Amino acid sequence: MTTDAPETRFALAKGATREIARLTSTQKADALGAIADALEAHADRIIAANAEDLERGRANGIGDSLLDRLALTTERVSALADATREVAALPDPVGQVVRGERMANGIALEQVRVPFGVVGAIYEARPNVTVDIAALALRSGNAVVLRGGSAALSSNMALVEIMRQALESVGVTPEAIQTVDEFGREGANALMRGRGFIDVLVPRGSAGLIETVVTSSTVPVIETGAGNVHVVLDASAPEEWARDISVNSKTHRVSVCNSAETILVVREAAERLIPQVARALQDAGVTIHGDETVRSLANDVVPATEEDWETEYLSLDVAMKVVETLDEAIDHIARYSTHHTETIVTADVREAERFLAEVDSAAVYVNASTRFTDGGEYGFGAEVGISTQKLHARGPMGLPELTSTKWIGRGSGQIRP
Amino acid sequence: MTTDAPETRFALAKGATREIARLTSTQKADALGAIADALEAHADRIIAANAEDLERGRANGIGDSLLDRLALTTERVSALADATREVAALPDPVGQVVRGERMANGIALEQVRVPFGVVGAIYEARPNVTVDIAALALRSGNAVVLRGGSAALSSNMALVEIMRQALESVGVTPEAIQTVDEFGREGANALMRGRGFIDVLVPRGSAGLIETVVTSSTVPVIETGAGNVHVVLDASAPEEWARDISVNSKTHRVSVCNSAETILVVREAAERLIPQVARALQDAGVTIHGDETVRSLANDVVPATEEDWETEYLSLDVAMKVVETLDEAIDHIARYSTHHTETIVTADVREAERFLAEVDSAAVYVNASTRFTDGGEYGFGAEVGISTQKLHARGPMGLPELTSTKWIGRGSGQIRP
């Protein structure tokens, strides 16, 4: 690859779309298999490139957790290869018939899944995302233009070159995988205004990154958003479920978007539930930020402020608030939620159905942990991301969400009378 | 309504969404019935308001065809009322279960259709669109914020007021229908940056209007695009089909987006087909803009320039070009098409399937008129528009395309192990 301009790379990706869209499911699986093998065969080269990034990162004073996300080891490269093989084994969405009918005049009409064309991705300094997004895009028949964080530049360049060579080795055009990493911020800006070249843009990373892409892009974006996730303990909530679902939703894995951040307790159940739910959370290492009533019913509770209702902690912290009624809980969610996932614990079928009907989030549960909002749990096999927008895809996205559709009509001379 | 700020109206619409989303199908149909009755009952008032617009339009020197689109008569008001009753009779998409399964752990998981929330619409000076979009939005459980062309201000204000009163008369919140027409251009700008209030924005009108909305909006947009539509006459095209499909695609209704604008003839069939296809088109009043070969095979052909391949005439004009092969036809379409609709006339099943597979447009036909790309023809009942984007909806859009989905899980205490 030569240093030219981002738009040149976009045109190369677009030029590859017809070939990639035409590949059979077997050809695409073989191409991904070749990529997986090449990653393992060139693990040393990848790790050497990664070492440059790590060294530069340390010199620039990058924090330990970022360095850890950036680091590649032999095991991590193997895990990347395995993940690529898993994507290769997923059902190919391209060509699936979504709807179909024989029109009254005899035309056989079908709505079939087709690739988007070129998928753009903007993400942070995590080299695994480079391989992950490329594999998902190729499996669904798309070309891809990648823009990773500059802190992972050397790693990404090595990964992209190895993936491109692997494609070539099985007779697939390497132009299907492009990177604009060398162009720095200008690469990201070009992606966001790449109308006519980039069919859909997927930002992955922090809330700030996603907000920038969503508001700046003139290309359609699939927003994978933050999760300010709520658990509601209703007046009739069974104690065991209230405790277990609160603890599991909060502590099963704290750094992910489907973990709970606020627990709302309906007043009638406050005395019955808060002492034991609070204790179970605290036993699991959680710091509770509570309102006055919560603090009167449990020990060691930090006073909650307005900011706590808005915060996605992604840590062993949870906000807890007493609401007068289920209505107030639903209002609170409407106001503060990022509309990712919410759950209610209740024994009352009327409250359960109201909650399901009135809470406007991507996933809404009754008597289940919020941690179930996940492509793997839903049986999608791969995790493209969890969409918090309402257009095109909402909630966990599988490979079909990386496709569009087109209408195909087979006629025999029909004209409109 | 008082003159406040566009954002105040957005908040009122958003405030109405929970009530509107909860309405049963019958309640929504009744509300639309009340609107239809009110339009007819207040036809005089509507026509009087429209007369103000027409007078102002004439004073401002608006052209006859725009004045005609702006004008309302008793018959047109009745037609609007009838169209509203037809929308009321359409199946309600809200609550439809799109997918569902019992998860391994016993949670009953369903993906159900839900309203977007608030649909924004930006359109030109056609008062019928005011009623049309409001009816479609309400039928699918959405609140709506309207911004019509300023030339129709008086008409739109009367229509919105009458629709709001009709909602109130059947106990539905009138805040579900908002207009920002009084705010002029600022109303449109506010809609385009109405993130957090406007869930989806539908521009309807000229290519210029749509382009502005798509590139300026930070709110998700459903693009209903222009149609530079192609007919390909393949080497093996049967003469009668070639002639009938060319004439029907071009002349059945010239001002619409699914009418043909360019006819590509594969060289092998040029001598056989062009003389008679050209004559049939000319007999129907069409002016042909042809390349050199076309001009050597037919009389009275205007020389075509590069611009002709790009033009959506929307008139009794057509571009005609000879291509060496089907490949060249597909390349030409990839380059010049707006990816709305294309058709091929052929007797060769291999060419037919290649065309269907490789042409990346919203609707692709074999041996059928391009005029079939239409919500009515597809059996959708209503015409929300024809999407030329790949995200969310592609091709004719019915009521389900005005909805999102959410995932609902009914559990019994499940947590993630």
pLDDT in tens, A101-156: 999 999 999 999 999 999 999 998 889 999 999 999 999 999 999 999 999 999 99
Interface of B with A in 82-101 (CB under 8 A): 101
Q: Which of residues 157-196 of B touch A (CB under 8 A)?
A: 195
- Adjacent-strand bridge partners of B265: B233, B322
A51, two tokens: 């070492």
In whole numbers, what is the pLDDT of chain B averaged over residues? 94
Q: How far apart are the CA of A39 and the nearest CA of chain B, in angstroms? A: 32
Please tell me the total number of residues recorded for chain B in this structure: 417
Q: Do A364 and B409 touch (CB under 8 A)?
A: yes
Same structural domain for residues A210 and A233? no
Q: What is the pLDDT of residue B380?
A: 85
Residue A273 distance to chain B (closest CA, Å) = 16
ipTM of the complex: 0.91
Give the distance from residue A353's alpha carbon to the nearest chain B alpha carbon, in angstroms.
10
Residues B387-416 have pLDDT tens digits of 988 999 999 998 999 999 999 999 999 999
Nearest to A22 among B357, B396, B404 (CB): B357
In terms of domains, do B282 and B317 share one? yes
Alpha-carbon distance A345 to A365, whole Å? 9
Contacts of A361 in chain B (CB under 8 A): 406
The mean pLDDT value for A59-88 works out to 93
In a domain, A169, yes or no: yes
> Is there a single domain that holds both residue B200 and residue B298?
no
CB within 8 Å: A391 and B220: yes
Q: Contact A154/A50 with Cβ under 8 angstroms? A: yes
Distance from B42 to chain A by nearest Cα, in Å?
35
The chain B residue lying nearest A213, using CA atoms, is B218
Tell me which residue of A188, A197, A192, A144 sits closest to B218, measured CA to CA: A192
Q: Is the pLDDT of residue B193 over 70?
A: yes
Pair of tokens at residue A48: 């050497």
Distance (Å, whole) CA A164 – CA B97: 41
pLDDT above 70 coverage of chain B, percent: 99
**Residues B71 and B189 occupy one common structural domain:** yes
Nearest partner of B142 among B80, B190, B198, B84, judged by Cα: B198
B280-336 pLDDT, tens per residue?
999 999 999 999 999 999 999 999 999 999 999 999 999 999 999 999 999 999 999
| Spacing of C-alpha A348 from chain mean position | 33
Interface of B with A in 48-67 (CB under 8 A): none
Q: Which of A107, A220, A357 is opposite residue B391, by nearest beta carbon?
A: A220
The answer to whether A294 and A274 are in contact (CB under 8 A) is yes
Query: Are A236 and A215 contained in the same domain?
Result: no
pLDDT in tens, B17-59: 999 999 999 999 999 999 999 999 999 999 999 999 999 999 9
In a domain, A296, yes or no: yes
Q: What is the pLDDT of residues A74-91, one digit of tens each?
A: 999 999 999 999 999 999
Is residue B302 less than 8 Å (CB to CB) from chain A?
Answer: no
Q: How far apart are CA B263 and CA B258, in angstroms?
A: 14
Contact of A350 with chain B, judged by CB distance below 8 Å, is answered with no
- A361/A397 Cα distance (integer angstroms): 15
Average pLDDT, chain A: 94
B256, B369, B373: best to mutate for the A interface, most A CBs within 10 A: B369
A380 falls within a domain: no
**Shared domain check, B259 and B352:** yes
Q: Which letter does DSSP use for residue B2 in this model?
A: -
pLDDT in tens, B61-79: 998 888 998 999 999 999 9
- CA–CA distance, A305 with B155 (Å, rounded to integer): 49
Quote the distance between the C-alpha of residue B169 and its chain's center: 31
- Is A181 found in the same domain as A73? yes
Do B25 and B42 fall within a single domain? yes
> Which helix or strand (DSSP H or E) is residue A192 part of?
helix A185-192
Chain A interface disruption, residue of B17, B96, B217, B410, most A CBs within 10 A:
B410
CA angle A47, A48, A50 (to 5 degrees): 60
Residue B311 lies in a domain: yes
What is the bridge-based pairing of β-strands B108-115 and B97-102? Answer: antiparallel
Which residues of chain B have a CB within 8 Å of the CB of A17? 360
CA distance to A53, A337, A355, per residue, from A328 (Å): 50, 13, 12
Nearest CA in chain B to A193: B215
Q: What is the DSSP string of B200-237?
A: EEEEES-HHHHHHHHHH-SS-B--B----EEEEE-TT-
Confidence of residue B2 (pLDDT cuts 50, 70, 90): low
pTM value is 0.90
Residues of A in contact with B364 (CB under 8 A): 406-409
Instruction: Answer yes or no: is B202 within a domain.
Output: yes
| Alpha carbon B340 to its chain's center | 11
Chain B positions in Cβ-Cβ contact with residue A240 (cut-off 8 Å): 413
What's residue B204's pLDDT?
A: 87
Query: DSSP secondary structure string, B245-293?
Result: HHHHHHHS-TTSTTSEEEEEEEHHHHHHHHHHHHHHHHHTTPEEEE-HH
Residues of chain B in contact with residue A245, where contact means CB-CB under 8 angstroms, are 413, 415
**A109 vs B366: CA distance, rounded Å:** 11
Kindly report which listed range (A210-219, A350-359, A360-369) carries the lowest average pLDDT score: A210-219
Alpha helix positions (H), A23-152: 25-41, 43-59, 64-70, 74-88, 127-139
Same domain, yes or no: A126 and A154: yes
Q: Is the pLDDT of residue B350 over 70?
A: yes
Is B368's Cβ below 8 Å from some Cβ in A? yes
Tokens representing residue A330 in the block: 């639903």
Q: Would you say residue B75 lies in a domain?
A: yes
Q: What would the mean pLDDT of A291-310 be, rounded to a whole number?
A: 97
Residue B208 sits at the chain A interface (C-beta within 8 Å): no
The one-character DSSP state at A361 is S
Cβ <8 Å between B244 and A372: no
CATH of the domain at B53: 3.40.605.10
pLDDT bracket for residue B218 (50, 70, 90): confident
Closest B-chain CA to A349: B410
> Which three-class secondary structure string do you get for A158-191?
HHHHHHHHHHHHCCCCHHHEEECHHHCHHHHHHH
| Whole-angstrom distance, CA of residue B308 vs CA of residue B310 | 5
The rounded distance, in Å, linking the Cα atoms of B27 and B50 is 30
CB-closest option in B18, B117, B366 to A411: B366
Task: Kindly state whether residues B326 and B402 are assigned to the same domain.
Answer: no
| pLDDT grade for B1, boundaries at 50, 70 and 90 | very low
> Pairing between strand A385-387 and A395-397?
antiparallel
Intra-chain end-to-end CA distance of chain B, in Å: 55
Candidate from A183-197, A211-225, B167-181 with smallest mean pLDDT: A211-225
Q: Is the pLDDT of residue B225 over 80?
A: no
User: Is A160 contained in some domain?
Assistant: yes
Do residue A67 and residue A214 come from a single domain?
Answer: yes
CATH number of the domain to which B341 belongs: 3.40.309.10
Give the pLDDT band (50/70/90) at residue A3. Answer: low
Burial of B391 by CB count in 10 Å (0-12 exposed, 13-18 middle, 19+ buried)?
buried
Residue A332 contacts B, CB cutoff 8 Å = no
A182 burial class (0-12, 13-18, 19+ CB within 10 angstroms)? Answer: middle
> Does B236 touch chain A if contact means CB atoms closer than 8 Å?
no
Mean pLDDT, residues B184-189: 93
CB B370 within 8 A of CB B67: no
B214 touches chain A (CB under 8 A): yes
Percentage with pLDDT > 90 across chain B: 87
Structural domain count of chain B: 2
How close does chain B come to A224, measured CA to CA in Å?
14
Q: Is B391 inside a domain boundary?
A: no
With contact defined as beta carbons under 8 Å apart, do A265 and A323 qualify?
yes
Do A255 and A135 lie in one domain? The reply is no
**Domain range for residue B98?**
6-223+398-409
Q: Which chain B residue has its CA at the smallest distance from A258's CA?
A: B416
Residues of A in contact with B369 (CB under 8 A): 414-416
Using the predicted structure, report yes or no on whether residue A168 has a pLDDT greater than 70: yes
- How far lies A4's CA from each of A134, A177, A240, B128, B233, in Å? 22, 16, 62, 50, 40
pLDDT in the model for residue B3:
58
